[in-house]
Amino acid sequence: MANIVIVYDSLRGNTQRMVDVMSELFSAAGHQVKAFKAKEVEVADVNAADLLLLGGPTYHKDLINTMKQVLFKLEKAELKGKPGAAFASFGWSGESLGIVEDTMKNLYEMKLVAEGVKVKQTPVAAKVKKELEPFVQKILAAL
Ligand SMILES: Cc1cc2nc3c(=O)[nH]c(=O)nc-3n(C[C@H](O)[C@H](O)[C@H](O)COP(=O)(O)O)c2cc1C
């Protein structure tokens, strides 16, 4: 059983929906999932993770500020070589995914075990689940 930590933020519930779906899928596969909003997470929570997922939405072609702030905070975490992946909710361009993924790769030097996934805003959880399943499967295969 792996300890999967998810750090994210969501202003209107779409990224939250992705986190809920991923938590359900990882839990069903027998893993422990802890999801933290950007402002709630501590460096120790992330250090304790076997795998770290980071994600946030795009607003005005940018990552939201709370996620930018936590990316600075997590510079102090022990992330070099830690397995992880990025995710994002978006409407039409989705720049937040690349920002998070670049930071995980270049600043933290994490081991990205799946290509980052972005899911277009939708209130339909089943649609979100369908789009996230290949991403989750790839991560499960790497655990
Ligand atoms: C004011 C505003 C600006 C937005 N700007 C962008 C944008 O530049 N690119 C994009 O892909 N989506 C953009 N979106 C869409 C959001 O990324 C999308 O609704 C996303 O699912 C929001 O995630 P959240 O519900 O977790 O906050 C914007 C939405 C709003 C309301």
Residue 56 CA: nearest ligand 1 atom is 26
**Structure confidence at residue 107 (pLDDT):** 98
Q: Which of 114, 48, 125, 60 is nearest to 83 (CA)?
A: 114
For residue 92, the Cα-to-chain-centroid distance in whole angstroms is 19
Q: Please give the distance, rounded to the nearest whole angstrom, from the Cα atom of residue 90 to the centre of ligand 1.
A: 5
**Closest protein CA for atom 15 of ligand 1:** 91
Residue 121 CA: nearest ligand 1 atom is 21
Quote the Cα angle for 99-101-104, to 5°: 110
Domain count, the chain: 1
**Structure confidence at residue 52 (pLDDT):** 98
Residues in the ligand 1 pocket, defined by CB under 6 Å = 10-15, 57-61, 89-94, 121
Residue 56 contacts by C-beta under 8 Å, 6 or more apart in sequence?
Answer: 8, 9, 10, 15, 38, 63, 64, 66, 67, 88, 89, 96, 100
Q: Please give the distance, rounded to the nearest whole angstrom, from the Cα atom of residue 65 to the centre of ligand 1.
A: 13
**Structure confidence at residue 83 (pLDDT):** 98
**Structure confidence at residue 85 (pLDDT):** 98
Q: What is the pLDDT along the chain (143 residues), one digit of tens a residue?
A: 999 999 999 999 999 999 999 999 999 999 999 999 999 999 999 999 999 999 999 999 999 999 999 999 999 999 999 999 999 999 999 999 999 999 999 999 999 999 999 999 999 999 999 999 999 999 999 99
User: Domain range spanning residue 130?
Assistant: 3-142
**Structure confidence at residue 62 (pLDDT):** 98
pTM of the model: 0.97
Say which CATH number the domain at 97 has. 3.40.50.360
Q: Please give the distance, rounded to the nearest whole angstrom, from the Cα atom of residue 129 to the centre of ligand 1.
A: 19
**Closest protein CA for atom 31 of ligand 1:** 59
